[in-house]
Amino acid sequence: MTEATSARPRGAFLARACLALWLAAAAGLTAGCSWMPTWMGGSPSKASAAAPLPEFKPALTARIAWRKDIGSARGSYLQPAVLENAVFAASAAGEVVRLGPANGEVVWRADAKTKISGGVGSDGFIVAVGSPRGEVVTFGAEGKPMWRAAVQGEIQAPPLVGRGLVIVRASDFRITAFDAESGRRRWSYQRAATPLTLRGPNELAFAGEFVVAGFPGGRLVALTTSNGAVRWDVAVSEPRGATEVERLADVMGQPLVAAGDVCAASYQGRLACVEAANGATRWARDLSAATGPGGDEQKVYAVDSKSHLYAFSRTAGASAWQQQKLANRDLSAPLALRRAVVVGDFQGYVHFLSPEDGGFVARIELGSAIVATPRASGGGAIVQTQDGVVALVTLE
């Protein structure tokens, strides 16, 4: 796919979607979300043209160790669940596959018997996906169907699986936990809705005994896994502005859990890190986020709405570096590896940047848009494209 002919993907996933317009008439919004940036489904303009691929001398060599075509994502947010001994992935048409992480060998294939819009989630024992009609479908580790359940609304993000639970989030932001073995509903949680929200996959994460989730209005909430009770509810950012559009401050993507902290970022808001135990704020920095943050014990990495990549000290939030040469390339959420920070873009390029200074160290092309967050595996990164390629990319 060349720079001249490729087009930015459109669909129902996070940074390529229009708004769920509950007060569209009052806000005076126009069809097609033309007022929005292109990473949210807006109309391209000269001002938002993607930056050309930067030239650099590679310090490392990126290679595709293996690749498998599992079927198109068709505009849905689908990404692999990567474990030590398995990679679980899905297509929008309903196929779920287990791949060997070492060589990409297909171990089994299963049919969800429904379209898939959210997945894959797995703890290695149970594999779960969600459908546009709110159906939760689960399989055992060997591909045998287990149970099915239903929630109201489309499931747009991978289910969170673990602690004996399968936890899903629907398009109305209600979070529902099911017993992993039986499919019995254990608890649910829902906040009051805001007038406008960004339609897309707001992923969940485990933080010890809690499930952490971001919400519209800039809120970050920790729920107790046993009963869904709120442990803490804090502001990543506060909505600001005179109109509902100006006041959009949704927490984006998946919160980062690292070394006792939870970090999250909001659109038109901030990047903030809080203590997982009590929600006390460690630090916050102004940032209009496009994705959830990535990071490790040393740094937190964040992509803003212009596809600028930033690095901050995890403990104090001091700015380490920023990289602006990938502007408007619709970057995925970042993955921190030992030797590189990894992001994918709308043309299917995987970029590897130095964790020390943000300089480019390697790049490789997979052929179509990368929306899913790259996942670490064996020192490399598992990446899924919108055209359905799942690949392990390594550095030498």
Pull the structure tokens for residue 295.
């990071």
- Give residue 2's pLDDT: 31
CB 87 within 8 A of CB 377: yes
- Give residue 101's pLDDT: 96
pLDDT in tens, the chain (396 residues): 333 334 454 333 333 344 444 333 334 333 334 334 443 445 444 457 999 999 999 999 999 999 999 999 998 899 999 999 999 999 999 999 999 999 999 999 999 999 999 999 999 999 999 999 999 999 999 999 999 999 999 999 999 999 999 999 999 999 999 999 999 999 999 998 787 888 777 899 999 999 999 999 999 999 999 999 999 999 999 999 989 999 999 999 999 999 899 999 999 999 999 999 999 999 999 999 999 999 988 999 999 999 999 999 999 999 999 999 999 999 999 999 999 999 999 999 999 999 999 999 999 999 999 999 999 999 999 999 999 999 999 999
Q: What's the CA gap between 79 and 14, in Å, rounded?
A: 13
Domains of the chain: 80-190 (2.40.128.630)
Give the 3-state DSSP-derived string for 69-132, with helices as H, strands as E and coil as C: ECCCCCCCEECCEECCCCEEEECCCCEEEEECCCCCCEEEEEECCCCCCEEEEECCCEEEEECC
pTM: 0.90
- Give residue 297's pLDDT: 86
